């Protein structure tokens, strides 16, 4: 885990709105995302606080982008965060990740 580039990046957490179905929040039966860290987008959709702002930055993101970051609710994070990976399922680099890193001014180091 120490060579995980996500631990020194954070670009996705500071460039995307993290939207998810409202039942993922802990104020719904079976939900786990802390509701106090979310806001309503509409009747069926929530997002992580801070990610609906300009510029976005998730309230759960700790640290300095490009240096050292962590998610304060990593084990409880919503599905968009769980599904966004540095590599695609076939092992190729995630192109969206590469673009977000470039937007954040981070080097596009080879990730494998």
pLDDT at site 1: 45
Token code pair at residue 90: 């076939």
Question: Is 14:61 a contact under the CB 8 Å cutoff?
Answer: yes
Name the pTM for this structure. 0.86
* Dist. CA 10–CA 50, nearest whole Å: 14
pLDDT digit string, tens, across residues 53-104: 999 999 999 999 988 999 999 999 999 999 998 888 898 889 999 999 888 8
Q: For residues 4-30, give the mean pLDDT.
A: 92
Name the residue ranges covered by the structural domains of the chain. Answer: 5-103
């Amino acid at each position: 885990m120490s060579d995980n580039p996500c631990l020194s990046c954070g670009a996705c957490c500071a460039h995307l709105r993290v939207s998810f179905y409202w039942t993922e929040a802990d104020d719904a039966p079976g939900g786990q995302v802390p509701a106090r860290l979310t806001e309503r987008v509409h009747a069926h959709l929530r997002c992580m606080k801070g990610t609906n702002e300009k510029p976005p930055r998730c309230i759960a993101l700790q640290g300095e982008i490009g240096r050292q970051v962590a998610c304060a609710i990593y084990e409880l994070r919503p599905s968009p965060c769980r599904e966004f990976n540095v590599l695609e399922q076939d092992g190729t680099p995630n192109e969206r990740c590469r673009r977000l890193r470039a937007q954040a001014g981070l080097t596009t180091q080879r990730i494998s």
